Structure 1
Amino acid sequence: MAITTNKFPHLAGSTQLGALTIRNKTIMASLTRNRSVPTTIPNDVNVEYYTQRAKESGAGLILSEGTLIAQQGTEWPHAPGIWDEEHAAGWKKVTDAVHAEGNQIVAQLWHTGRVCHTDMDEQKKSGDPVWGPSNVPARGGEGTFRHLPGKPGHIVPTALPDPTYVLDQYTHAAKMAKLAGFDGVEIHSANGYLIDQFLSDIANIRTDKWGGSVENRIRFGLEAVKRAIDVWGADRVGIKLSPGGGYNDAYNSTKEGRIETFKAYITELDTLGLAYIQLSNYNEWGDPKHGGVPQGYALDMISTFGDLLKNTKFIVNGDYTAESAEKVLAETHAEAVVFGRAYIGNPDFYQRVQEGTPLNEDVMQLYYGGKDGDIRAGYTDYPFSPEVFAN
């Protein structure tokens, strides 16, 4: 069904992100949904989910859920991987379906680093320890690994002896993403996962070329991006950042130090000719607040970092509504807005907001998995608006 009403004109219309032409300025965020059962390979229900949100009534561009570049014992059982040809074949069914709807999909390449657990099944199968930049654990996290006896929290990671071991995994995953038919890749450099851990002067206490100075701490993330560029070309590579920190105990010793680190990082990323840089706002709900003290910083992402971007477009993420997204597009040089939870329960989110159709509410009740063995529940069973459904 053609969308004839543009209640939010700045969200409407196509735009260009590197080699990617997107048909509207609402981007579907990476949303971990725990549905790649029985293992980590995308299945037919995953195909259905992405197809629903790829339709004309939905996202202008889809960012895949976090896709693991190697077997890791994450808190997310049944998160998908992209580390071999079997995973690529599973993802190919998804990308073919998205392309059949005239849409595009980018693979978010993800390594969770120290926030894994050695006793999770995938970690045991991998034969690797839980890697971190240093043997510094994330604090707290009690109950994080709810599928293990006692629901433990974070453990002490093993310091990567040679970070090129994981950089090689980024290269291989980027190649598998190309084999899978994705339209590009996004490096996940946010939310306290491995690259963000290297950026922190708390999680990263290395004394070699990968730690210490700001220049050294940003090196790993830059090299991961360059590995993706070698496979895809810069105009099909994006990156996600969360400079405010907080989530997964991601923080620097001072606010000033975190700002300095990310200013240096963003300045270097801007020279690479990337398709986009995604700036995620600080979310208070995701901050562990050890001792009641927030670990992140409620920075204004656009005013703090936006002017550093001379060669690269940026997109923004973080609890936006259609109204606040329209405002940020009208008043800043952000290129598009990334929506997360809105796309969980509203596969036709774009059409709903443009035509003033109420949104499906209560979308988080089954966020971490299905119900009574039904993986479609809370995943592909959210209704389209009547106008869309009838067509």
Structure 2
Amino acid sequence: MSSSTLFSPLTFGDFKIPHRVVMAPMTRSRSAQPGNVPTESMATYYAQRAGAAFIVSEATQITPQGQGYSFTPGIYSAEQVAGWRGVTDAVHAAGGRMVLQLWHVGRMSHPVFQQGQAPVAPSALAPNAQVWIVDEHGQGGMVDCPVPRALTVSEIRAIVNDYYTAAANALAAGFDGVEIHAANGYLIDSFLRSGSNLRTDAYGGSIEKRLRFLDEVTDAVVDAVGAARVGVRLSPHITQRGMHCPDMIVTTLKAARRLSDKGIAYLHFAEADWDDAPPVPESFRRDVRRAFGGAIGVAGGYTEARAQAVIRAGWADWVAFGRPFIANPDLPARLRNHLPLTVPDTHTLFGGDERGYTDYPNAG
């Protein structure tokens, strides 16, 4: 049993955090158009939540090809880097810390974001999923993802370089680190799983080959920013979007050992957050702790009580909270003082103006 609690400090990699209540990455689709540029409103939103142990930004596409939803921000243009600099300056001025989540959606996209072409993936398999697209009339809705096309080896290598550039841009934008999004059915996750990766070359087939893309991306990002500033997000127990894989747990544990050898700062596990979701087996938590030498974070519908329990058991070092942070910008203080939590307005989660974004008050 660990003597740590949700409100004890922690140091790992280049991170020194005053407690363990992390703000999870949440897509809010409010970047400026055209160009998917971060805005002053986004700076206000994140600065309001700077009391988090650290903030993981909304998922941010590393290239135009990496986009799969309307109005999500990027980190590939000079305008985007400048916009994000406004966000990180505001967060730092408020005493906070923030990492940028690096994102390539892969097959979780639509030709509207791909200049009329098919999205890309390890293999030409549709994800049985939908993405949120705003039409020419300004109306947002969910649209089916089409069958993607399989990437060539040269294209894979180019995407690895895109991750390097995006990570370097994140440092230029003032972020304290980066998180590689390798979860939830997006590009890296689809390489990891046998149900979505049917390749027979160096990037598919055996577990070792399916891990190669994650290996190469992580090495590139580490080269750009240093291992002590890097985290990786995984979701081995989530199987929606056609992500079934019978050996995903074995694959994840091998990935954890390899990432530990690279010296990255943390792993961040996205867990199922619906009401009747099966619990993560304690045996998996134990095996991950043995495999990985850095900090371990978890996210997925945690309450304060569940967060305290997983930290005290020693299975996690911090817990990321998602929707509670939307309507409770001072969430750590509310949890520490056992204050009631406001429920977010689900109609204002994606797109729109300050309503349901920057207008939620502190507890006072």
Verify the 8 A CA contact 1:246 1:286 in the aligned structure 2. Answer: no
Equivalent residue number for residue 69 of structure 1: 62
Matched, 1:135 2:124: yes
Equivalent residue number for residue 339 of structure 1: 321
Equivalent residue number for residue 271 of structure 2: 281
Letter aligned with residue 23 of structure 2: M
Matched, 1:271 2:261: yes
Instruction: Give the aligned length.
Output: 354
TM-score of the pair, normalised by structure 1: 0.85
Unaligned runs of 5+ in 2: none
Letter aligned with residue 38 of structure 2: P
Q: Which one of the candidate residues 9, 14, 33 is aligned to 1:14?
A: 9
What is the CA–CA distance in structure 1 between the aligned matches of 2:232 and 2:209, rounded to whole Å? 19
Letter aligned with residue 385 of structure 1: A
Matched, 1:105 2:119: no
What is the CA–CA distance in structure 2 between the aligned matches of 1:214 and 1:310, rounded to whole Å? 18
Q: Which one of the candidate residues 187, 205, 225 is aligned to 1:194?
A: 187
Identity %: 37
Verify the 8 A CA contact 2:256 2:292 in the aligned structure 1. Answer: no
Equivalent residue number for residue 224 of structure 1: 217
Q: 1:332 to 1:210 in 2, by over 3 A?
A: same
Structure 1 vs Structure 2 CA RMSD: 2.2
Matched, 1:214 2:210: no
Verify the 8 A CA contact 2:344 2:356 in the aligned structure 1. Answer: no
What is the CA–CA distance in structure 2 between the aligned matches of 1:152 and 1:316, rounded to whole Å? 30
Verify the 8 A CA contact 2:62 2:104 in the aligned structure 1. Answer: yes
Equivalent residue number for residue 250 of structure 1: 243
TM-score of the pair, normalised by structure 2: 0.91
What is the CA–CA distance in structure 2 between the aligned matches of 1:49 and 1:186, rounded to whole Å? 20
Please state how far the C-alpha of 1:308 moved relative to its aligned partner: 3.2
Letter aligned with residue 318 of structure 1: G
Verify the 8 A CA contact 1:95 1:180 in the aligned structure 2. Answer: yes
Q: 1:207 to 1:21 in 2, by over 3 A?
A: same
Please state how far the C-alpha of 1:156 moved relative to its aligned partner: 1.2
Unaligned runs of 5+ in 1: 1-8, 288-296, 387-391
Matched, 1:161 2:155: no
Verify the 8 A CA contact 1:244 1:298 in the aligned structure 2. Answer: no
Q: Secondary structure at the match of 2:220?
A: helix
Letter aligned with residue 134 of structure 1: S
Please state how far the C-alpha of 1:110 moved relative to its aligned partner: 0.4
Equivalent residue number for residue 43 of structure 1: 39
Tell me which stretches of 4 or more aligned residues in structure 1 moved more than 4 Å.
148-151, 284-287
Verify the 8 A CA contact 2:235 2:270 in the aligned structure 1. Answer: yes
Equivalent residue number for residue 290 of structure 1: none
Please state how far the C-alpha of 1:354 moved relative to its aligned partner: 1.0
What is the CA–CA distance in structure 1 between the aligned matches of 2:276 and 2:206, rounded to whole Å? 28
What is the CA–CA distance in structure 2 between the aligned matches of 1:304 and 1:192, rounded to whole Å? 24
What is the CA–CA distance in structure 1 between the aligned matches of 2:194 and 2:6, rounded to whole Å? 38
Q: Secondary structure at the match of 2:102?
A: strand
Letter aligned with residue 82 of structure 1: I
Verify the 8 A CA contact 1:73 1:117 in the aligned structure 2. Answer: no
Verify the 8 A CA contact 1:189 1:240 in the aligned structure 2. Answer: yes
Equivalent residue number for residue 25 of structure 2: 30
What is the CA–CA distance in structure 2 between the aligned matches of 1:96 and 1:25, rounded to whole Å? 22
Range with bigger deviation, 23-32 or 277-286: 277-286
Matched, 1:376 2:354: yes
Matched, 1:53 2:49: yes
What is the CA–CA distance in structure 2 between the aligned matches of 1:354 and 1:307, rounded to whole Å? 27
